[in-house]
Amino acid sequence: MKTLNPLDATWLFVDSARTPMHVANLSIYSLPEDAPDNWVGEMVAELRQTRAFAAPFNLRLTSARLKSIFPTWSETDDIDIDYHFRHSALPKPGGERELGVLISRLHSHPMDFTRPLWECHLIEGLENNRFALYVKMHHSLVDGVGGMRMLTKMLSFDPAARDLPPPWSVGTGRDGPRPPRPDAGRTPWDKLRAGLRRQGESLPELSRAFGDIAREAVKHETPDWVLPFQAPVSILNKPVSAQRRFATQHYELDRIKKVARAAGVTVNDVFLGLSAAALRRYLGELNQLPEQSLTAGLPVSVRPADDEHSGNAITFIISSLHTEIADPVERLRAIRASTQAAKEHLQGLPKAGINNYTMLYMSPYVLQMLTGLGGRMRPMFNLTISNVPGPDRPLYFNGARLEQMYPVSLLSDGQALNITSVSYAGQFNIGFTGCRDILPSMQHLAVYTGEALEELEAETKARRAA
Amino acid sequence: MKTLNPLDATWLFVDSARTPMHVANLSIYSLPEDAPDNWVGEMVAELRQTRAFAAPFNLRLTSARLKSIFPTWSETDDIDIDYHFRHSALPKPGGERELGVLISRLHSHPMDFTRPLWECHLIEGLENNRFALYVKMHHSLVDGVGGMRMLTKMLSFDPAARDLPPPWSVGTGRDGPRPPRPDAGRTPWDKLRAGLRRQGESLPELSRAFGDIAREAVKHETPDWVLPFQAPVSILNKPVSAQRRFATQHYELDRIKKVARAAGVTVNDVFLGLSAAALRRYLGELNQLPEQSLTAGLPVSVRPADDEHSGNAITFIISSLHTEIADPVERLRAIRASTQAAKEHLQGLPKAGINNYTMLYMSPYVLQMLTGLGGRMRPMFNLTISNVPGPDRPLYFNGARLEQMYPVSLLSDGQALNITSVSYAGQFNIGFTGCRDILPSMQHLAVYTGEALEELEAETKARRAA
């Protein structure tokens, strides 16, 4: 029996029927050349035979009833593989639309807390001889980077490699769950209180950093720097319902790089620019575009290069999406100024104090989730936009080429939309996870993101020519 | 806003994550001859256009939060058809096995109590040019007979009929939900207490009937008559988990009639005999066959021929399955004696008192459900075996012939298996709904039921020849 570390436990604590805290990875494969008709069926049957379970696939909550009070993991070998590994199919024509609808459904289904908290769905019937793998896991077991590592560990750079083991036999590669911290055994609430108390013991540099935030909040000397709670009220920040929508978009990474170079911004800035353009248009059509610009929370890795710990090393910066600006190139440059101001503040911080900084900076957000106040008070930022680095070379599963992969994320009250991208072998893939009842026709957001890149390409080209 | 009648409200009251109280009908169709490749897709698109909703499809709980305390229905036009009407597909080869797995999953998913409590899944990809329709509804909105009426109202005897409306536009045919009774507005608890209190005002004949039960319990003069709570302890009567298994079996009705004639029993007795044979073998292989015979609760319609009320007119009789007898024909005759003894007692009852009789007879069962004691006390009977009459002539939906239909039932704590059959156009179709964790490889039960008929055919033939 193992106690969860407080960060992992938080995901169980805030889990509810309306805000299930599972995340997933959707990967799409093309069949090997000359694959016979029953290739997928045969592979499913073979994978199903592999009943060795690596952590975290062999972990179960010791008591599902106590999940939010005092969660602990137990290892188990008694796993009903037919329950966790599911073979599904798409109706014809098996296009992106049918796949999006099925993923929306699968991602809306709650997990069964009496079993290990993962599901693996192999989906056949995608047009052009493809199949998909949707691997869903509770966020208390894995984070975005861990999930990516898990998936890539399952795959091979070698197209000729066969008999690759299924994800549940590979695991994250750690010997077990994250080791408990010295203060394990206390509830997430205890830990949160302790974290807030520790702020009093911060380093002098850190105090200066908070001084900067406080001064800026009053004097507003750096107009590009967005502080928490400067987000406008929007439909993106209502309490969410239990059902999800999922949509995808993907580009050649080179197209984004080209626009970034032409406009003198980063790839991530272009990603924000595309999201901003799509949101401006989508919310505008719904008559729900706030006058003041939307703001986005951006998770940023702050792990030093020589840090080998597997634990959490993420902080957030907040950037303006400048959805009040009509011109796409001007908007992109304003976004650039905003992300730079936020990063400069972050870089001025001492590395040693970064966790305490994150805790204080993010604590109102965490508190909103823990207290269930999300969607009922002013949002810290309007939505999360995240960029997860993926493998840069083509990967294969038993000879099937990994064509694309997408993250499927989670929502909480007050955060009804998540846009996360992942790069892979020269691609830039975006997954949109949204609340079904707040965001009608969310597929349009993905389409508009695609059209926004065409617009930026045309505009940057035209301005350079002029 | 309409108050539910107490019987309907009870289904909401006992609904829980582990014991969701929805029921479903699974119907299988063969495509019209020369149907083009996109026939199903086109029909789905057309049906989706029909956004007129008849009761009970337009009813939503006024407050999902108060569902178990003071449930009332509101009518709504704001229905997200893409949520309720779902297009799915089976993986290859699209046989009975793949269909059973998908139905098991769909039936395990809880309903969203913030929306009208129904889902309609059109499933393509069944082998031999077939598709399936799985219509799921909360039991508070519909009962078995009502569901059958709803389905058949949607269909046509005419293979040439086209542009038939979807189930949600047809409804049960009533103008609205069941009218509230004079004592509506009280909670199910109040009603139950009142019902039990009313027993004191029973007719003299009814008192005599209960006297018979009491005397029999002490003296045991009619050995074939099974009383409540004479069931042995078995795995069928444990508390259930949230996940379901579903399996099917179907026969030509003539085969069952022939065996019934040869053995001098009814069609329903043969159905019980087949279930008994399969259970004896299945539980025997699990080393879980009780020494004492299993007993079954059989819903019996007690509606007089001249009664036009649409309300509930069902009572239960309890029959022994005589799983302690090894010989199949001898077992069948013993079952016959048991059902006859129970029916004779029932026929001795005055029609006017039948509802009170049912209430008292069944109240321990209802109380087990209401108090959550199911699976923790001696079961009233080991499982429910039910026989729903269906249409006797072939039916069509937009030219697609209805081939088979199956009921998918509900479970409660202490009732981990339900076997329900429905007759249709010369067929006898059986649906097995079971608890996933209590009944491993439940598909075997269906297979054994099939083999049991072959055995009964051979045995009755051999004995007649002898």
Say if residue B8 is in the same domain as residue B89. yes
**CA-CA-CA-CA dihedral for B396, B393, B443, B231, to nearest 10:** 140
Judged against a pLDDT cut of 70, whether residue B208 lies above it is answered with: no
Residues of A with catalytic function: 139
Question: Is pLDDT of B275 > 90?
Answer: yes
Q: Highest mean pLDDT: which of A211-225, B78-92, B167-181?
A: B78-92
The stretch A294-317 carries a mean pLDDT of 64
Q: CA-nearest residue of chain A to B97?
A: A87
**pLDDT above 90 for B206:** no
Give domain status of residue B417, yes or no.
yes
Amino acid at A107: H
> What is the structure's pLDDT at B307?
47
> How far does A86 lie from chain B, in Å, by closest CA?
9
Q: B232 with B307, same domain?
A: yes
Q: Is the same domain home to A156 and A232?
A: no
Q: What is the pLDDT of residue B372?
A: 62
Q: Which of B44, B76, B90 to mutate to test the interface with A (most CBs of A within 10 A)?
A: B90
Residue A369 has a pLDDT of 63
**Mean pLDDT of all residues belonging to chain B:** 83
Does A147 lie in the same domain as A64?
yes
φ/ψ of residue B388, rounded to 5? -100, 125
Q: How many CB atoms lie within 10 A of CB A39?
A: 18
**What CATH number has the domain bearing residue B33?**
3.30.559.10
| Lowest mean pLDDT across A153-157, A223-227, A241-245, B239-243 | A223-227
Contact check, Cβ <8 Å, B92/A89: yes
Residues of A in contact with B37 (CB under 8 A): 92
Chain A residues touching chain B at CB-CB below 8 Å: 37-38, 40-41, 44, 80, 82-83, 86-93, 98, 101-102, 105, 109-110, 112, 114, 124-125, 241-243, 436-437
Q: Domain check: are B105 and B205 in the same one?
A: no
Most confident of A211-220, A223-232, B196-205, B229-238: B229-238
Q: Name the residue range of residue A91's domain.
A: 2-170
Q: Is residue B431 part of a domain?
A: yes
Question: Do A272 and A371 sit in the same domain of this protein?
Answer: yes
User: What tens digit of pLDDT does each residue of B328-380 get?
Assistant: 999 999 999 999 988 887 777 666 566 655 655 555 566 666 666 666 667 78
B288 & B416 share domain: yes
Nearest to B46 by CA among B87, B80, B76: B87
- Could you report the predicted ipTM of this complex, rounded to two decimals? 0.83
Residues A159 and A239 in one domain: no
Is residue B80 one of the residues assigned to a domain?
yes
Asked if residue A28 belongs to a domain, the reply is yes
Contact B427, B311 (CB under 8 A): no
Residue A64's pLDDT band (boundaries 50, 70, 90)?
Answer: confident
Report the CATH number at residue B320.
3.30.559.30
Highest mean pLDDT among A319-328, A405-414, B193-202: A319-328
Same domain, B163 and B248: no
pLDDT of residue B380: 81
Q: Is there a single domain that holds both residue A150 and residue A232?
A: no
- Domain end position, chosen among A126, A152, A170: A170
Identify which has the larger pLDDT, A44 or A185: A44
Determine, yes or no, domain membership for A196: no
Query: Between residues A311 and B247, which one has the greater pLDDT?
Result: B247
B186 assigned to some structural domain: no
| Of the candidate ranges A197-201, B9-13, B43-47, B84-88, the one whose mean pLDDT is the lowest | A197-201
B305, with CB counted inside 10 A (0-12, 13-18, 19+), is exposed
In chain B, the number of structural domains is 2
Say whether pLDDT at B109 is over 60.
yes
Burial class (CB in 10 A: 0-12, 13-18, 19+), A465: exposed
Convert chain A into a string of H (helix), E (strand) and C (coil): CEECCHHHHHHHHCCCCCCCCEEEEEEEEECCCCCCCCHHHHHHHHHHHCCCCCCCCCEEECCHHHCCCCCEEEECCCCCHHHHEEEEECCCCCCHHHHHHHHHHHHHCCCCCCCCCEEEEEEEEECCCEEEEEEEEECCCCCHHHHHHHHHHHCECCCCCCCCCCHHHHCCCCCCCCCCCCCCCCCHHHHHHHHHHHHHHCCHHHHHHHHHHHHHHHHCCCCCCCCCCCCCCCHHHCCCCCCEEEEEEEEEHHHHHHHHHHHCCCHHHHHHHHHHHHHHHHHHHCCCCCCCCCEEEEEEECCCCCCCCCCCCEEEEEEECCCCCCCHHHHHHHHHHHHHHHHHHHHCCCHHHHHHHHHHHHHHHHHHHHHCCCCCCCCCCCEEEEEECCCCCCCEECCEEEEEEEEECCCECCECEEEEEEEECCEEEEEEEEECCCCCCCHHHHHHHHHHHHHHHHHHHHHHHC
Mean pLDDT throughout A74-81? 93
pLDDT on residue B369: 63
Q: How do strand B295-301 and strand B59-61 relate by DSSP bridges?
A: unpaired
pLDDT at B457 > cutoff 90 = yes
Whether B319 is in a domain gets the answer yes
Query: Does B146 lie in the same domain as B39?
Result: yes
Mean pLDDT of A69-83: 90
Q: How confident is the model at residue A196, as a pLDDT?
A: 42
Q: Would you say A101 and A185 are in contact if contact means Cβ atoms under 8 Å apart? A: no
In a domain? residue B88: yes
Exposure string for B66-90, b = 16+ CB within 10 A, e = fewer:
ebeeebbbeeeeebeeebbbbbbbb
Tell me the pLDDT tens digit for each residue of A175-225: 433 333 444 444 444 544 454 444 434 444 454 555 565 556 555 666 676
Q: Does B177 have pLDDT greater than 50?
A: no
Q: For position A219, what pLDDT does the model report?
A: 59
Which comes out higher in pLDDT, residue B186 or B280? B280
pLDDT at residue A115 greater than cutoff 80 = yes
A46 and A128 belong to one structural domain: yes
Least trusted range by pLDDT, from A210-219, A455-464, B307-316: B307-316
Q: pLDDT averaged over chain A? A: 83
Query: Two tokens at A197?
Result: 């108390």
> A-chain residues within 8 Å CB-CB of B80?
436-437
